[in-house]
Every structure is written in C-alpha cells, then in structure tokens.
Amino acid sequence: MTRIGRCFAAARADDRAAFIAYLTAGDPDGEATVALARRLERAGADMLELGVPFTDPIADGPVLQRSAARALEAGTTLEGVFEMARRIRRETSLALVLFSYLNPIHRRGLAQAAREARESGIDAVLVTDLPPDEGAPFAAEFRRAGLDTVFLASPTSPPERMRRAAALSSGFLYVVSRPGTTGARSELPRDLAATVRRARRAAGDLPIAVGFGIATAESAAGVAALADGVVVGSALVAAAERAGANRDDAVEQLARSLAAACVRSGARRTSA
C-alpha cells in the first residue's frame, strides 16, 4: 500500500475523512512553506498538495493567483519545489501530492520530472489541466516512477469521462465540487451529494476526495459525510496571506478546526 493509500486507510479506521491541505510552494518563500507543512501536520493534516506556481493558473481563483505570483517573484521553480518536498519528507510524515499545471512538467521533461518527484519524496501527481482523454501516457510514466496518479472529475463530467478519470487515478479521484475556479465559498453546492454518488459509481473502491470552495469547518464536515477526503486550499492560503508574519499560527488554527470537522459525527459521539 502506498503512503496515499495508508492515509485513507487510517482515516477510514478512525471514521473520518482524510484532511488534504494545499499550499502554493514558495509562497512567500521555501522556508515558510516547510514551516507551514510542519504546522499542518501538527494540526491534523494527512496529506499536503504542493502547488507548483505557474504564470497562467487558469483553474485558480484570485487567492491562489496572488499566491503563485508571490512564489514566482521569489524565484520558485519546479526544482525548488522538489527541494522543499525533500525537506518536508524529512521533517513530517505527510503524504505529498505534486499539484501542477502541465507546462512546468513538460518543460522539465516528463520522465525526468517523474523521477525527480519520486526521489524528492512526492507520493502522487495531479496535473490540473491534463484531461483524462489525453492522460494515459502521462499516468503510465508517473506510475513507472513509483508515483500515484490523481485526475479530476467535476459535476459536468459525463459518465464516460468520469470513468476514464477514475481508471487513470491510483491515489484517489479528485472531485471538483463546482464548475469554475478555486476559491472559498460560503456554502456547498446543492448537487454535491449527487456528484459524489456518480463519482463513486465510476471509481469503485478508489477513494474520493472533494475540493474547490471548502473554507470552513461546517463545509468540511458536510464534505466529510460524503467523501473519503476533504481538500482545502484557498482558505488556508488566504489565512496565511492575511496574517503575514503570524501566518504559521493562523494556518495551524484554521487547520485544527478543519481536521476536527473531518471526524464524522458518529465517531465524535463515540469518543465523547
């Protein structure tokens, strides 16, 4: 079982959803990213998506766009992200997902990027702008390097596309909660339960994680009741952005509330 698989198995045994946090690597610098990773683990995160900053982040809302711009201004490269991953792997037990657009990986060379990702301690790769229709050669290369693969499905994905995304995924299937870009929202989409049911039919035993728009403990609890994993990105990045020099404490405080919300109500009653 891979580290990703062990995270989901441990969460399942505890009757909770795995808490998957996102950070833009290098925002505002590499040291800050490693420090935040340590705080996220202490707060209860199971996995960390390390976002590779990109000049044209079309899937990202304003918070992550600003975050990518700060990271690029600081000189963050894919090679630098791998170095951050090495340090996080040495200093935490978090499962690590490389969250990237295709361009930085393509420029590095697919085979080389996959090999370097694995050597740096990365466990899985998610390429946000790689459609499943074109993903098979990339998934094969990543898996040859010993990496899990994660593909996206959305509420607008027809059944065949959802099945293809699930078939190419080995770590988990990432279900986008709503159409559009990333960013915190005040409430969950009304059709989310139906979307997750469709994803489960497509994925079989593969874990399902839901992201995009989850910002509060209340929304995290709602997703935890439906899915195997809860992904939170923009809310954590925004908390760090607002807090400035106090970013570590702000992110840990928010992460603790989100991790607690991932414990399902039955488990909370039992522990009480």
- Convert the pLDDT of each residue in 8-30 to its tens digit: 999 999 999 999 999 999 999 99
- How far apart CA 201 and CA 172 sit, in angstroms, is 14
Average pLDDT, integer, range 32-56: 97
More confident residue, 267 or 228: 228
For residue range 176-209, list pLDDT tens digits in order: 987 655 555 667 888 999 999 999 999 999 999 9
Catalytic residue among 29, 60, 116, 228: 60
Looking at the predicted structure, is the pLDDT value of residue 86 above 60?
A: yes
By percentage, how much of the chain surpasses pLDDT 90? Answer: 89
Looking at the predicted structure, is the pLDDT value of residue 80 above 50?
A: yes
Q: Which two tokens stand for residue 252?
A: 């840990």
Q: Note down the domain range covering 14.
A: 3-271
- How far apart CA 25 and CA 161 sit, in angstroms, is 30
CATH of the domain at 159: 3.20.20.70
- Residue 156 is predicted with a pLDDT of 92
Catalytic residue among 49, 116, 123, 228: 49
- How far apart CA 193 and CA 268 sit, in angstroms, is 22
Average pLDDT, integer, range 103-114: 96
Nearest one of 245, 263, 171 to 208, comparing CA atoms? 171
Q: Which two tokens stand for residue 148?
A: 């899990």
Please report how the helices 192-203 and 159-168 are oriented relative to each other, as an axis angle in degrees rounded to 10.
60
Phi and psi (nearest 5°) for 146?
Answer: 90, 20
Total domains, the chain: 1
CA distances from 262 to 23, 48, 85, 93, 137 (A): 19, 15, 25, 19, 35
Would residue 134 show up in a list of annotated catalytic residues for this protein? no
Average pLDDT, integer, range 131-155: 96
- Residue 7 is predicted with a pLDDT of 98
Q: Which two tokens stand for residue 86?
A: 């090495």
**Minimum mean pLDDT among 8-12, 62-66, 121-125: which range?**
62-66
Q: Which two tokens stand for residue 61?
A: 């809302």
- How far apart CA 141 and CA 239 sit, in angstroms, is 36
- How far apart CA 93 and CA 45 sit, in angstroms, is 10
Would residue 191 show up in a list of annotated catalytic residues for this protein? no
Please, which pLDDT band fits residue 272 given cuts at 50, 70 and 90? Answer: very low
Please, which pLDDT band fits residue 53 given cuts at 50, 70 and 90? Answer: very high
- Residue 57 is predicted with a pLDDT of 85
End-to-end Cα spacing for the chain: 32
- Residue 182 is predicted with a pLDDT of 59
Please, which pLDDT band fits residue 37 given cuts at 50, 70 and 90? Answer: very high
For residue range 232-242, list pLDDT tens digits in order: 999 999 999 99
**Minimum mean pLDDT among 45-49, 156-160, 182-186, 236-240: which range?**
182-186
